[in-house]
Structure 1
Amino acid sequence: PEGTTVTVGDDGTATVTYPDQSTDTIKGSDLVRPATDADKYEPEGVEITVNRNTKLGPTEAKEAIKNAQSLPERTTYSWADEKLPDTSTPGQKDGWVVVTYPDTSHDIVPVKINVKKDAESYAVTPNNKVSVDKGEDVDPASLVTVTDPDGKQVQLPAGSIDWKDGAKPDLTTQGDKTGSVEVTFLDGSKKDTDVTIHVKTDAETYDPQAQPWTTTVGKTPKADEVISSTDKNGKKMPSDANYTWKTEPNTSKIGEASGEVTVTYADGSHDDVPVTINVKDKLNDNEKYHIYGKDGLKVDKGQTLDPKDAIDVKDANGKETTLPEKSKVEWTKDKEPDFSQAGKDVTGEVTVTYPDHTQSDSVPVTVHVTGESDKYKVAPRDGVTVQRGGQVDPETTVVAQTPDGKPTSFPDETTHKWVTAPDTSTTGNRTGVVETTFPDGSTTTTTVSVTVEPNQSDKTTPKVPAKEPVANTSSLTDGEKANVQKNVEDANKDEN
């Protein structure tokens, strides 16, 4: 009632005096308790930053308390289990830290966790400068090294490292070229890194070599005749190279004569090649005639090619000619090309035995065995999608075209298989490599692109119902399992 007063004694006991002077007493033990550490301290939350997929523990919990250094010794820090933040995706997350004091009292403090994008926490380092031949294609993934926050090298799914749009360097001309590589991480974040590629001069690409040459007294061969059509590494010398004598050999007497040829390439670079000429008073047939493997040779699968049709012949003056009568042209023993491999470039060697019984050196030739892979162009199909974790049929990722790019159909019994299947464990654009095998056995490979989209579990977070009481939490009975199932279904029935 109005006019009632309350007085409190030293022990906390409260005396209530009413207007009529009657009283009630409340014991101090019912009204007061000793103050706890939680009453004395006020921990403050602060935003912390962590890498994606960081397992949050006591260290991070303490970092999330701004004034942790002002709290008592032996205070511990932990995360409220039921509200543990998800660090699997980047962004700002809410969390709650349990601050437990030495007297076992505690506070629960709301905090913010900033989960960094992979692009912020991973390092992308350009590799040492790579050297390539002009026109050579370079895999951008070979140009950089990706390391995780701990400094360990990681391998990203195929297709994660590509040229940044508009930043692929021109590798058709010599010199140091710069480009930009774009790395797409598993969380979809991206990082660009500049790289340098050295495009070699022709002189750096080719290593020309002299070939044996015999001439007669007083006759100096042309410079291009004494240089082999293939370099020391088996590469065919470019057709637009120019050959000149830097030091012309002295052929005025019988014996060996030394000289030096300058090979000048189309890009202006050059090589100097020492040569030795054998000078005689009379030439044998194999010195009068020089054979070369023809370019652009083709034959249908299962057909044959006469070795005569695989070579060109020049005389000692470098002029095109024909072989003398009774010359025998053969495939070198055990070196006849295998014409059963449709769609392949096969190699062989040709040897000529002349009427004077001398023999040419074996000449290498390359023949393309035409197959169905030459009659069809296999192109990547646009707009291929798959849900995360799903499988992609390689047949659905390619289309058949004519050699000039017009749509057509694959022949019956054509098969497709993955050489490198796209990684569908994470969302984003992924690449794969498909091998197409035609009925005649010829094959071709195609790089394809697949868009991995979120699946239903990515789009849905199931609601968790109230806990079901059970006898043994590690071994539920069938009835208890049925109850839990119903609880989960009821909690999420509105989500269907």
Structure 2
Amino acid sequence: TLPAWAVVNPAGVGSGNPDISVPAGQVTIPVAVTYPDGSGGVIDVVVTVGTTDAHDNQPDYVDTTVEPGTATTIAAPLNSDGTAPPAGTSYAPADATTLPAWAVVNADGTITVNPDISVPAGQVTIPVAVTYPDGSGGVIDVVVTVGTTDAVDNQPDYVDTTVEPGTATTIAAPLNSDGTAPPAGTSYAPADATTLPAWAVVNADGTITVNPDISVPAGQVTIPVAVTYPDGSAGIIDIVVTVGTTDSSENTPIVTPITTPIGVVPPATEGIGNEATFPPGTTVEWQTPPDVSKPGTTTGTVVVTYPDGTKDVVTVPVTVEVPAGPTDAVENTPIVTPITTPVGVVPPATEGIGNEGTFPPGTTVEWQTPPDVSKPGATTGTVVVTYPDGTKDVVTVPV
């Protein structure tokens, strides 16, 4: 019954060295004693085997949450009363083959974790082997919760936008559905620069500058935008930009034939019947005026220029007629009156026509070529008199 870990020597000295497999508790060892006279007896010695370090310590880790792309050091485990295991305690993975590649169990009990964005979100249990100074040991589990990536936590979207050709517009950076912005440090770029329209620029802050000119066809254009979050996760957001129609596609000039007296070029607006319906800022001009030098039918080319820069060009039929009676230019003859004026002052053209008051209402008198009044002396200017019927007289006025 003598335990294997106990020795009683003839001198009566007992020694014991129970290993960590020996259960804690009292063990009674009977010792036979023989005296010199041959008599003897039995003496009991009670040996109390103490508890192991593994029994006396029950350390535990604090379960930890870590975000992908973020390195974290988990503190060494402590006993429930806050004390540390004895000095000399060491730690190692309980099973190195199942230890995640992103986790390191350090000998001092700390654990370094650094999951990248490829690690799925969820709980991971890491078993840690602990060895105490007395050789006893155990296994402690630590639960590490891997958080979700920024790409999972954020689902920003752009507001689809309509832009008119020839108009620059800045589209705001995308927001999450609750109105919050993605985290600071999020960056944006074209998902495919080779397909990005030349009239669109994706800025690093997520805004998009669009400025389609009038050559861009009307319709919807989808622009994919690559978003990269601070943790390295990423995604693609599509924005739909609708390019509006041009003024020229929304307006069609209605040609109206014109009849005009010989020698009178009519206003180009007379050849467009719906000019009043065009957007404000539209101009209607002769691109090629009609030849009104002789009676008959001819044509002129009118260009309609809209505010967005687009144009329509149409051909207008023109009938040139000889008036039944004499023209205003035949019935009126301007009387030239010399003008005296201070240096530097261009006088009104009417001062050079002595009988301007006799002309029919609606007649205009204007300088065709103003006189040079930059220095003293005699000079001339050319005055054009335009009568209500469109006929004209041109005279030279001494100044």
- Fold match (TM-score > 0.5): no
The answer to which structure has the higher helix fraction is: 1
Q: Which has the higher contact order (CA 8 A, sep 6+)?
A: 2
Give the alignment's TM-score, normalised by structure 2. 0.36
Question: Larger Cα Rg: Structure 1 or Structure 2?
Answer: 2
